[in-house]
Amino acid sequence: MTTPAAEGLHMPGEWEPHARCWMAWPCRPETWPVPEEDEEVDRLEAARAVYAEVARAITRFEPVTMVCDPDDVAEASLACGPGIQILPIPISDSWIRDTGPSFVTGRNGRVAGVHWRFNAWGGNYPDCAKDQEVGRLVLEHLGQERFAAPLVMEGGSFHVDGQGTLLTTEQCLLNPNRNPSLSRAEIERHLRDFLGVSSIIWLGEGYQDDETDGHIDEIACFVRPGVVLALTTDDPTDANFKAFQDNLDRLKKARDAQGRELEVIPIQQPARRDQNGVRLTLSYTNLYVANGGVVMPAFEDPADDEAYRTVRRAFPDREVIQMAALDIVRGGGGIHCITQQQPLGQGAAG
């Protein structure tokens, strides 16, 4: 079996030109639990409203295709509006960063997709059969080549710089609930083969109570080659303090695939907020980089303003849009988790 790397393909950085953004319409009520303090609140409907807002914000910069379960086509179309393409595909949940394909590119504008195996974040949910096929169906719709990876993986568990470096966490990729028969070296080999990277930077633990077991997009992201935005806290009593300090230390000691030291931009996490006794993963690194823009979260927190200024400085050549994201986070993810960029190239018109 051939691999993307063997054919000269690699995953580009998220800031490189896109053909479009992919999203998936919320459809699973269990993902959006009713708050114990207010049983009248419909979290699913609130999530749908914010997904539509995010989609409309991204259309200012690039086209958006919203995958949606066939039963929800009319509602999704009405909520999103005429500028957003609706694509009926059977889905179990709405985190397309994790269920959709990871796109790779090569010479002459060639674009293909990596289709990972998916087991609902280590078996968190039993009904993920539809989502196991989303990557394949998206690529069939596009008429693009598919590389089926022999690895349980989610797109939110890694971040690349487009120049050979991948950032991930030990907590997630080495978790026995994903690929228990594979060693660290074997997992690294698959990452090199299917994403075209040569250097892997391992952070340790992710965000407290992250049900994805430490996805990287909740704690850090590349903003360009050699530069990483990393979530931090100055509060030594916070449960994230030790893990975040360890991650910062690892980043400062790391070298990327080009041999460069990393510039690390710290960004303070907002105050803790719980839902039904579980901490919400409120993270400013969970953002989407679009063509000429960045869509980032706000959490009705005093840290929102400084986070906005930090992101603006990190992306000086892009317009930054900050939008309320609590109704996304209540489902277990963020803006990066609900989006997936499709790079510009052959077959990319969709």
Angle at 336 between CA 75 and CA 146, to 5 degrees: 85
DSSP-assigned letter for residue 31: G
Cα–Cα distance, 38 to 155 (Å, whole number): 33
337 a catalytic residue: yes
CA gap 84, 77 in Å, rounded: 8
Question: What is the rounded CA–CA span in Å between residue 338 and residue 346?
Answer: 24
Select which of 128, 172, 221, 337 is catalytic: 337
The angle at the Cα of 251, spanning 249 to 253, to the nearest 5 degrees, equals: 70
Is the Cβ–Cβ distance between 220 and 167 less than 8 Å?
yes
Q: 87-122 in b/e burial notation, b at 16+ Cβ within 10 A? A: bebbbbbbbbbbbbbbbbbbeeebbbbbbbebbbbb
Please give the positions annotated as active site: 337
